[in-house]
Amino acid sequence: MAPQQKSKTSSHRSEKEIDALLKRLHSGCRFILFEDVKKNDISNILRNAAQPDEVHSELGRALAHSYIESLDDALGERILLSLCCGEDIESNSSNSHHQTSKTNYASAANAFFSYLAEYVLANNNGEDSNDSTAQEKRYQIRSKWLQWCVRCEELISPADDGSSANSNGGGRSVLISCLKNYSSICVGNSSSGGCDMVYRSLKCSTSRKYWIRSIASALELAITTSGGGLEESDVLFQDFHSLFEACTLQARGKIQFHDLLAHNEESRLILNESLRICTMNLHNDRSVCQFTIKMIEYLAVSLASYLDQLVYASTNPHESVAVLELSYEWLRGLSDLIRSASAKELDEDNTKSLTKAIDAIIVAILPQLSSSTSSFMVAFEMTSICATIASAINTLGQYSTFTTAKSAAAMRLGTLALSLESDREIKGVCDLLLGVFSCFTDDAALVDNDVTFVGWILYALGCVFSSRPNCAKKALMMKKVGEKLIKRIPTIIASSISSSSSGEEKSERLHLIDLLASLKSEPPSTNYQHLIEVISEAISDSDQTNLHSWRRRPLALEDQCSGLLVGLTFLHMSVMSPILTEHGYQRTLAFLTSFLECYPRAASRVLPSVLDTVRMSSQQSPPLPQILSTSFAFIASKPILSDPHSAHLAWTYLSPLTNDGVPSATRASIIRILPQMCLNNKKLFRRIRDVIGKSMVSTDPMVRIAATATLSDMAKLDLLRDVEGIVSWIQGRLNDEESTVTRFALSALRYLVQNEELDFDLVVRVLEKRLGTDLGVVDDFLGWDILALESLVELLSEGGLEEDDDDESHDEEDEEEGGPAPTTKTVKAVTLLIELALNISSEERYDFSTQSRILSKIYQSLANYSALILGLDPESIRTCADLTSIPEDLRGDWERYVELKTIVQSGMSLVTRMEDDTKNDDSGSTTAEFSINLVAMMQLLLSFEEETFGSFVFRKGSSSSKGKNEGAQQHRVSKAVLSALPEISAIRSMYESDESVSARVAAYFYALGVEDDNDPIPQTSALLAEMTECISYFAPSADPPSYAMQVFSITNAMSAVFRSIQNADENCREELFETAVDQLEEWATEFSEYGYIALSALALATDDSPQLYSGISRVQNIILDGSGMFETEDVKLLCTCMVAARLSQTTDARVVDLLDSVEKSIERHNGQSCFGGYLGLAIFVQSVARKIRSHGSDPSEDWCREQARRCICILVKSLNNCTLTDDESILELASCIETGKSSDTLPLPSELTAKDGAAQKLIGVIIALSHCFPALAGVSADLLKSVVAVIDKLPWGSGKGFATHAAYKTLIDAGMYSMDDLSGAIANTVACVQGFDSDCIDLLDPLFSLASLCRLSSGKVKEELDLVNATTTRILNTSSRMSSKGKTMAVFTCCASIGELPGVTSFVPNIYSSVKKDQVSNVVAMMEETLLNGEVECTHASALALGVLCAMRNSSQTTQQHKREKKSDRKNVDVNSIIQGKGGTVMEIVLQQVAKAHSDVLVEHSGTNRATKQLCILFEALQAVALPGSFSRVIETTLHSSAVGGTELTNSSLKILFSQIESGRRRIGFDGRGFLDMSTRLTKLPAEDLSKLIGAAGAQQMMTAMPNLLLQLPTSAGEEVAKCLWGISRDLSPENQMVMTEFFVGMKTIFASAGKESKDKSKLSTSPALLRALQNFAASGLFDEFCKVAQSSKIDASSSSYASSIAAYLECLDMISASTITTDTMGIQSDVAYNNVLVMASCASFSSKQTRRVETWIARQNVRGDPSNLRMLLLSSLAVAPQARNDIEMKESIANLFDIMLVAGTNNTLCIELIAAKIAYWWDSRYMNEMSAATHPIQRVTTMSSFLISSNLCFEVQSLPNKEISAIFDLFVTDLPAKLALLCQTWKISDDISNRATRLCKDATDKKKACLQKIIQLLDGGGE
């Protein structure tokens, strides 16, 4: 209790003392009047006043002493109140009036606070250090002093109600004393409250200013007394830096508007005080104190932060100017400090601090201040500052500490230099660049600095500034420094690679140039090259796609300078770097061209660099001629010459190179680019004209040639003016000794006539006079030089019609004469051209190549005229065409037509000869040009004939067996009929019920060969496994029909095996084929000799694929070497013939020996049946017949024809051996067949009978002969007719019924029989059937004949077929007494009534097209009934018949079957049988040539290549006319054989096909439906088959023709074809994405044409239903598949771009959305997912709702996981980023994404990246109208990410790896804060975004946290 009592006592005593002291103060103070004292002198007066006024000073000290004893807050408040306000305001004493009149208590206040300060600071001097009570008191005083400062300010400030403060006390003097003494405590005292806290607590600007001065004074005193030690300096720096930051760098957004002026004054005050203190220290000390060095570094860094306040002040120009002015003063003072400090003695740490300050100035401060002029009405002199900094850099000794020495800094300073106008300022920046980077030319410099691009940047800047006289010296120095750096680059790169691979990771790539430098230093340079392409694309944005409405806005001036510097840097790199020269130089020039097209004023700065590259390339060893020529062309280009200054520089450089004394090659090269220069800048015309005029009279031939050629080019470009004077130059060169000069002179005249500068007739008259020739005399020109003659021919093509001055007076005359007539000289020119064409080939002085060149020009000239000018009159030609004698008045017209026809005909012959000429290396280009001109001539004449004759220009083709046969099979069988045939499963069940029956095995073989439309083709191993199980039971009967049908079941099965091999992967086909051969050989050796038949059939079914050749040879050797392995002669002969058939495909010599052995074997078995041999011969004949044309001269065809006749001869001789005859007529017929002679005079036997025991043999011979009838018809129809007549002499029952079907079918096709003959034969056969007894076996022969003949008839044969059905039903009845053999034949007859039997009437099972479903059902039911209840042999026949019927499923012309009927059927097309031209016309000649070339193409031989070229030319010529639809068969067969001719023939076939379905084709008398049908069939082929057939390029043509195709189809068919075409484009897009693009372009064309038609209802032709179906399909039907295809290709960086496809698709959707279909029904309404997000993002352009939906989905995805998903999200972000249309949409989008981040977070999502991409695109968009923000100074220190923004960036970066794509987004994120803050200021949403960012910043990490913090700082206007 004692201490407490003592404390109370002491406090009470102090209170009394203070009361007494205050009373003394109020009663007796002398006052100092401060009204007359200047503010700055207050402290001095107080200091001086304290000495004489000891009473008041002692009073103040006493108050302080008493207060220290008590430390009572109430007493402290009383003291402050009394000092500030005078007499105690609570006192009511009588003498108050006297007391309140006192106005100054300064002396007491100063003593009071000074005593307290001394007491507090006594602790620092070690006084009372052990007294805890004193320490506590000092602490309490320090903690209360800040409150006293605030309280004093409150007491002297006016009240809130506006009343003035009580001023009886010391007032402001008390506050000043309080602040002054507290500053001495705060400075250097770490335990104080902090200078910044006092500043923030004071409310009045005056108080804050005094506090700043006080702190500065205290700091200055502390520095002087401390000695500048490191520890003391750190403390002092921390004290002052906190105040500086609170004053200058506080958030501008928190300052009230009316306080901004005071804030600016305070900032300027503390800055000046800082600079004053540092300057004083630098002047006073020899060395630099640590405080000064730290302050210099801090001032530089804080100045960069201070400039960020410009973002907040951007909406207030006055505030922005204030910030910039202070910044300039700041930088100027800072630069002076740096210069002074650099002259001092510096240690390593001080040097680093100083260089950091310089780094900040160069990288962040200078670019912003220098660019402020473009944004604000303020300008600063930066020259002195740059010079000061450069001087400091040169003074410093340690260069390695410069972090500025990077390409990014060089790029910024270079951009700054280019944006300046004053030479003085430019030299200042150049000094900076040289100072920073010249040190790296020293070998001792460290190699880990990033100087990869610095050398090229400096060199490019040196070239630019070399054209400025005042900067030339600096420019030369920069070029030298750049060259030294370039030479050091390999070492630097190698070191950086090794260090990065073994040590720490490289620093972050926070600038575009850093990213390029890192990519270039990596071994693979493809990413570097591709990124350059991205920049090139972005900076000009030349690719205008329809993916979105985004378009780049024009760049600001500084950005233009950056783009220019980037382009020039790349230019010099491409020349000086060997790795980049090959492609980089042209790529860079292309970039500069695009850049200059947008910003032409920069051309004058580009030109010096281009000229320097010319110099550099010419000095290299060896020189780079490609760069020289490319550079000259670029100098003459429009981007360079469109700018007047640049054009002047270009001409100044190039014109001296055209003078005498310059090397001829160089002079000629420059002269040759003059036309392009004149074209790009017509103001240069007079200068160019003078140069040409001077050069045309040069003695140097090369110069004259170049000058004349240049004049010709200028005439061609219509650049010549005042041609009167120029014509005289040309006339003077017509007789030049150099023929090339003459040639170009004539060419110049031609172009002058063409451009109507000269009259044609006048020119011709001048030529005749000058050259002494007459156009009417062809001999005058035949001796001319080839070059001159070519030009003359070209000139002669420019004639025309007469022009009448008085049109009205001649109207009636013109109508009577048919219009204006050709001029006189035109007629002579045409006549001369025709005579030259007719006579040139006979001129011996011209070689073949020369003749071809001249004729080519003649064709070109003639094709340039119309038919009228050529002298062709339609009426005259039409009249003469059908006359045998031409009237005299029409003879001239007809002869002209004949001459032109002769010219064309000789041209076609010449093409053939040119194809064979391979001596000349230029023959290819000559032939191509000749073909083009010949085609043009042919098209002219064909079009004339089409107009003249109409449809009569064509006539129906002549009949031929091939055409007829093919036509007979072109009928489809309905699916209903096919459904009635037995199923495969039924045959399998039948076989499994009794596997030991050979007939059932054969039936099962037939079933295995059936292709089910709904099932895939079975695998080879599965097929062979099925067959292996049953081959051992295969043993056909001796009956020829049954034997033939069972044998062909094996061939049918082997065809299925080969189809399965074809269907397998190409790499494993050879292995599968070898496996099949092994399996079949095992059959033959272990199970049955019929395995050899399977081997032979497989070899015969195999195509000519080289990979199967070894397997085929193996099969052949097995058969030929194993003659002793066969058990029966039939099998041996059959296999031998099949092998011979295979060998005949290559005209193998062994074939003849094999046929000899077969013939001898048959002769040895004279009395026995050798049906296997007969059947084998028939197979051989049909095989070789495929290579035989009706008229062929090829040796291989003659050989095939000879072997076929020989085999038929063997069969006819066998027929003779089976019959009893009285003469040798059959043998004579056989002799005629073998020799090919006519049989017209041969006698035929009157009657034939079969020999005893030869019945089976006779049937076998007849069946075999029937298969040979088509081939025999090709040899001679008369011989065929004779053979048929011989067989007809045989009695019924001999088997002749098996031959009647083939006989009549072949003879009718050959034109030998008519339908009437067929009807008679049917009637006779009916009579025979009715005449036989029902139980007679011979009845079956005519019955079989009747069944097959009925199906050939086009008439009604129902009664005949009913007779067949009734008879066979009666025979198969169980009560019938017919023999088993007869019943078997009845079964086969039932089958023959609905289709062809394999081995009997054909080689493949084929159902008749006229069969009805009920007929098939009846036959199948009858066979099934017989199978169950019939006799044994009948059941076997029924089983076999059911198998054959099942196999007939393959015979229909469904798509599944017709893809297997390949070459054999298509090669039977004869053009002459399809279409022929009118006699005597060019069309006839063309079609005859087509027929010949077509047949040569179908059968491969030595002339196939020549025929292919001819056919391409002919097809191109026929495109000009409308062809009959039947011609499509010619195109189709050519297309399927085009594998021989390659892609050229394929493309020609497709072009003529699609040309015929073009709309507007006029056809009279015929239609073009065949072309439409063929095009439809092509679209329905599987994509893989179509690709093999026509290739991806052909598929692209098909998509182009899609509109013409679909608009001519009905709705259902059109919709189906559209889906097929989409499937093709979808499947082929990975190889050629243009196929898909063309598909969408075609769709767009359809929709566009429909839109046009809807405006004109009278022309509406598009089906509305089809249009709606296509719209629905495009909008939703294919969307998911399109996304799947496109998306799967996007993940793979190596895939091709789908930008064009997506753009075309969007155009389709855009048209669809404008129609009745809305976006709500489109596929874009599907759920967003990874497999469609990229396309969804691209489709976001349709609506802001779609954009928001995609953005939201992307923003919510978690990026932790699959890298491919991350890649897809980044690409999709780039795709959706441009989809913004206005400010409102952008604001809503940004706010939405911030809201998503509040829920989903920032660290695991791409919200920040997506916002950065959107802001980046909006910033460079044309919608960005706030150019003040775009040109804001802060944009000068960005990462240059804007130079990556392009229309298709999401597709252009796909080839880059994920790391580089992420790096691009890092650049966007780095630039995001400044751009977002500026936009938010404009949009007035700064507070909202700042609030969201503040909440997000708490949980964010790493880069995203830094980004958010920067956003908050810029939005708030600065601050911590």
Range in 719-733, 1321-1335, 1640-1654 with the lowest mean pLDDT: 1640-1654
| pLDDT over 80 at 887, yes or no | yes
Residue 959 is predicted with a pLDDT of 44
Mean per-residue pLDDT of the chain: 80
Residue 332 is predicted with a pLDDT of 93
| d(C-alpha 1082, C-alpha 1681), whole Å | 48
Give 701-750 as a 3 state SS string: HHHHHHHHHHHHHHHHCCCCCCHHHHHHHHHHHCCCCCHHHHHHHHHHHH
pLDDT band per the 50, 70, 90 thresholds, residue 392? confident
Query: pLDDT: is 1070 or 548 the higher one?
Result: 1070
| pLDDT over 90 at 688, yes or no | yes
| pLDDT over 70 at 121, yes or no | yes
Most confident listed range (939-948, 1101-1110, 1127-1136): 939-948
| pLDDT over 80 at 399, yes or no | no
- Amino acid (1-letter code) at residue 1468: N
CA angle centred on 1631, ends 1628 and 1635, rounded to 5°: 50
| d(C-alpha 608, C-alpha 568), whole Å | 10
Which residues lie below 8 Å from residue 1351, measured CB to CB, with a gap of 6+?
1301, 1393, 1408, 1410, 1411
Contact 187, 215 (CB under 8 A): yes
| pLDDT over 70 at 1405, yes or no | yes
Query: pLDDT: is 1083 or 681 the higher one?
Result: 681
DSSP state of 1523: P
| d(C-alpha 442, C-alpha 986), whole Å | 93
Residue 6 is predicted with a pLDDT of 42
Residue 193 is predicted with a pLDDT of 58
Residue 1789 is predicted with a pLDDT of 92
| d(C-alpha 548, C-alpha 1819), whole Å | 16
pLDDT band per the 50, 70, 90 thresholds, residue 1257? confident
Residue 1464 is predicted with a pLDDT of 39
Residue 1651 is predicted with a pLDDT of 64
Q: Where does residue 1565 fall: left (phi above 0), alpha (psi -120 to 50 degrees), or beta otherwise?
A: left
Range in 224-233, 551-560, 860-869 with the lowest mean pLDDT: 224-233
| d(C-alpha 1648, C-alpha 1405), whole Å | 50
Check whether the bond before 1664 is cis (ω within 30° of 0).
Answer: no
Residue 498 is predicted with a pLDDT of 35
Residue 1429 is predicted with a pLDDT of 81
Most confident listed range (57-61, 151-155, 756-760): 756-760
Q: Which residue, among 1853, 1844, 1857, has the nearest Cα to 1763 in the 3D structure? A: 1857
pLDDT band per the 50, 70, 90 thresholds, residue 447? very low
Residue 228 is predicted with a pLDDT of 59
| d(C-alpha 1089, C-alpha 1311), whole Å | 43
Range in 504-508, 740-744, 922-926 with the lowest mean pLDDT: 504-508
| d(C-alpha 891, C-alpha 730), whole Å | 41
| d(C-alpha 1133, C-alpha 1464), whole Å | 25
Query: Which tens digit of pLDDT belongs to each residue from 1427-1486?
Result: 888 788 888 888 888 888 888 877 543 333 334 443 334 445 778 778 888 888 999 899
**What is the chain's length?**
1920
| pLDDT over 80 at 1184, yes or no | yes
Contact 1865, 1813 (CB under 8 A): yes
Looking from the CA of 766 toward its CB, the CA atoms found within 13 Å total 18
Residue 65 exposed, middle or buried by CB count within 10 Å (0-12, 13-18, 19+): middle
Q: Which residue, among 1403, 969, 1349, has the nearest Cα to 1181 in the 3D structure? A: 1403
Q: Where does residue 1891 fall: left (phi above 0), alpha (psi -120 to 50 degrees), or beta otherwise?
A: alpha
| pLDDT over 70 at 1656, yes or no | no
Contact 1809, 1797 (CB under 8 A): no
Mean pLDDT of 1831-1849: 85
Mean pLDDT of 479-502: 57
Which residues lie below 8 Å from residue 1212, measured CB to CB, with a gap of 6+?
1226, 1229, 1230, 1233, 1265, 1283, 1286
Mean pLDDT of 857-875: 91
Q: Where does residue 1727 fall: left (phi above 0), alpha (psi -120 to 50 degrees), or beta otherwise?
A: beta
Residue 622 is predicted with a pLDDT of 58
Query: Which tens digit of pLDDT belongs to each residue from 645-663?
Result: 999 999 998 999 899 888 8
Residue 490 is predicted with a pLDDT of 47
Pairing mode, strands 1219-1220 and 1475-1477: unpaired
| pLDDT over 90 at 1165, yes or no | no
Query: pLDDT: is 1910 or 38 the higher one?
Result: 1910
- Amino acid (1-letter code) at residue 1887: D
Residue 454 is predicted with a pLDDT of 85
pLDDT band per the 50, 70, 90 thresholds, residue 814? very low
Residue 747 is predicted with a pLDDT of 94
Residue 674 exposed, middle or buried by CB count within 10 Å (0-12, 13-18, 19+): buried
Query: pLDDT: is 402 or 1852 the higher one?
Result: 1852
pLDDT band per the 50, 70, 90 thresholds, residue 691? very high
Residue 958 is predicted with a pLDDT of 54
Residue 37 is predicted with a pLDDT of 45
The token duo for 934 is 């010949």
**Other residues' Cβ atoms within 10 Å of the Cβ of residue 502:** 7
| pLDDT over 70 at 393, yes or no | yes
* Burial profile 1286-1314: b = 16 or more Cβ within 10 angstroms, e = fewer: bbebbebbbbbbbbbbbbbbbbbbbebbe
Residue given tokens 């559209």 in the structure block: 1618
Residue 1690 is predicted with a pLDDT of 46
| d(C-alpha 29, C-alpha 1646), whole Å | 105
| pLDDT over 70 at 1760, yes or no | yes
CA angle centred on 1472, ends 1470 and 1473, rounded to 5°: 70
Mean pLDDT of 1539-1561: 82
Residue 1621 is predicted with a pLDDT of 92
Looking from the CA of 1436 toward its CB, the CA atoms found within 13 Å total 23
Mean pLDDT of 475-486: 88
Instruction: Specify the pTM.
Output: 0.71
Most confident listed range (169-178, 856-865, 1501-1510): 856-865
Range in 228-232, 1075-1079, 1198-1202 with the lowest mean pLDDT: 228-232
The proportion of the chain whose per-residue pLDDT surpasses 70, expressed as a percent, equals: 84
Residue 1463 is predicted with a pLDDT of 37
pLDDT band per the 50, 70, 90 thresholds, residue 961? very low
Query: Which tens digit of pLDDT belongs to each residue from 298-340?
Result: 999 999 888 888 888 877 888 888 888 999 999 999 999 998 8
Q: Which residue, among 710, 780, 712, 798, has the nearest Cα to 747 in the 3D structure? A: 712
pLDDT band per the 50, 70, 90 thresholds, residue 1814? very high
| d(C-alpha 939, C-alpha 934), whole Å | 9
Query: Which tens digit of pLDDT belongs to each residue from 979-1030?
Result: 888 888 888 888 888 877 788 888 888 888 887 655 566 778 888 888 887 7
Mean pLDDT of 249-263: 78
The proportion of the chain whose per-residue pLDDT surpasses 90, expressed as a percent, equals: 16
Contact 300, 356 (CB under 8 A): yes
Mean pLDDT of 870-876: 90
| pLDDT over 50 at 49, yes or no | no
Mean pLDDT of 1855-1867: 88
| d(C-alpha 1411, C-alpha 983), whole Å | 18
DSSP run (H or E) holding 1476? strand 1475-1477
| pLDDT over 90 at 746, yes or no | yes
The token duo for 1052 is 């049918």
Mean pLDDT of 1391-1402: 88
Query: Which tens digit of pLDDT belongs to each residue from 1315-1349?
Result: 888 888 888 888 888 888 877 888 888 888 888 88
Residue 443 is predicted with a pLDDT of 46
| d(C-alpha 1779, C-alpha 1770), whole Å | 15
Query: Which tens digit of pLDDT belongs to each residue from 530-544?
Result: 888 888 888 776 555
